[in-house]
Structure 1
């Protein structure tokens, strides 16, 4: 999830663990701890794009990291804080650390919760930024913060925030199941034969859902709102995997394919190849849009080794997407 949401979650967890004993400091330390797993993004400054993508949401988002580093951070804090209970501080850091990847596992990218095992959990039931999850949580956290540390109201508001946010995640799981049934029934109605289908919510909401459908030589992308009255339209995206040619044998290309879980297309423009990660879709829901969220230019050095360079995103695309989403959510 986005940084603000992880800060809110960390603060709420910190309050639940130690708020009664140290007041707002529990929220402060919980908020800080809730952002620590995302420090793995710093790897982008020291490694190539492929390695950085492999490391993202890896070790720092694992149970192992939470277990090992929680007491270390707790020990450091007890060196200068008046409250010296090592066990209590360890619990605060552990729960702030572990809830971060558990929440991230609900998104499309997922997390390697069981690192070093090569298992990435990605339930794809919530978008990385979802106001319906974040805003009520934030309001209740602020209300809790304004209460004295030993009052019942403080715990009530904080616990209510945790309950509502967690319940929303459960609800999105149900909505994902409903949308899956809608997509598969529509594919059957349209006599579309396919190999695999994956569904996920569209940006900023849980009403409009997107399906990626794999066929032999192409992918289909369709959108379905719970307010739709007409059949789903699926748009075609040729795989074009053959454009990679001999590059398909290169380790970095194989690693990128593994990162994308095989959901990728290749396109060529002015003799330059582009790798499009289909899992995250496009910054538009218009028919056959090609402004993919994650698009990488493939550059090949003199030794024939490919390098992946992420294409910058256009700010105007994001603004247009919000407008398009609002219209499409209301139904087709």
Structure 2
């Protein structure tokens, strides 16, 4: 999730854990600091844009490493404020703040390597977008009220904010499952129609359902189908469950030419669990993560170089801009949320 959400969550968790044992402002401050720490890995340069992407949310988001780190952090905070008798409580607060950071990130589709060092598998549910005001606002309001209102009323407001934000995450997972069922039914109908008409059949091997920006009403669906993928959108406000799908080439033949597991093509394919596209435009090869963005506007789109460069082991790996204008994108998003075609 975005930095504001992680700061708000960290403060809220720390306030709720420390309760009356320390000043609210201390808990809020250190909760915000600890909630930010795992994302400082963005300042580490792993050599190129794609390596930076797949290594973000790596060791700094390991549940084991964060748990170990929380012991020293909690002890240091207790010593700093002369609250040594409360160090175990400070440790518990910092442990919960640090651990809830990657767990919240898991709800997004990016990919969080929770089980390092035992596994580099990147986990991502995709039920919330990386920025979602409906998740963050209850936390912010609860923390602000805890800082400004009388002690018990402020703590209660903070608890309510945590409860509402948690319920929103639960809602997002339920909504995602509902859209997954709708998408599977739509694909099944498409298959039946294809068989009747002897047309192109859709046989989805993998299905990805992700929330679109800033909401959990409109969802994007990507279905992998052999050498192709299908993209569709479904709003909970749509009058019809029959989704419209567009078909695109994944570039599997191109990907097969670069099978080295330590090179960018397979690195991204492994990290994105197969949701990648490779294409050649003139003398340039491009690699795209299909999970974040949509057709014509992807967040992670990389220029790898020319075929000759890749054959000699030279990869440029430059991130390319592939996003639509903000105003145009928000207008299209708003229309589609309300079930109107774009």
Q: With structure 1 as the length reference, what TM-score do the two structures score?
A: 0.91
User: 1:109-164, CA deviations, whole angstroms, 9 ceiling, x for partnerless residues?
Assistant: 1322221122332111111111111122212221121124xx22111101001100
1:70 Cα deviation after fit: 0.8
Mapping of 1:111-260 within 5 angstroms? 111-118=112-119, 119-148=121-150, 151-191=151-191, 192-230=202-240, 231-244=242-255, 246-249=257-260, 251-252=262-263, 253-260=265-272
Residue of structure 2 equivalent to 1:264: 276
Three-state SS of the structure 2 residue aligned to 1:248 is coil
2:289 to 277, 288, 302: 277
Q: 1: CA distance between counterparts of 2:180 and 2:124?
A: 16
Residue of structure 1 equivalent to 2:96: 95
Mapping of 1:44-123 within 5 angstroms? 45-84=45-84, 85-118=86-119, 119-123=121-125
CA RMSD of aligned residues (A): 1.9
Residue of structure 2 equivalent to 1:35: 36
Q: 1: CA distance between counterparts of 2:247 and 2:83?
A: 60
Report if the CA contact (8 A) 2:142-2:162 is conserved. Answer: no
5+ unaligned residues in a row in structure 2: which ranges?
192-201
1:304 Cα deviation after fit: 2.6
Residue of structure 1 equivalent to 2:320: 311
Q: 2: CA distance between counterparts of 1:110 and 1:239?
A: 20
5+ unaligned residues in a row in structure 1: which ranges?
283-288
Three-state SS of the structure 1 residue aligned to 2:302 is strand
Residue of structure 2 equivalent to 1:286: none
Q: 2: CA distance between counterparts of 1:38 and 1:26?
A: 20
Report if the CA contact (8 A) 1:237-1:265 is conserved. Answer: no
Residue of structure 1 equivalent to 2:300: 294
Q: With structure 2 as the length reference, what TM-score do the two structures score?
A: 0.88
Residue of structure 2 equivalent to 1:14: 14
Three-state SS of the structure 1 residue aligned to 2:297 is coil
Report if the CA contact (8 A) 2:146-2:154 is conserved. Answer: yes
Report if the CA contact (8 A) 1:22-1:83 is conserved. Answer: no
The more displaced of 123-132 and 19-28 is 19-28
Residue of structure 2 equivalent to 1:285: none
Residue of structure 1 equivalent to 2:198: none
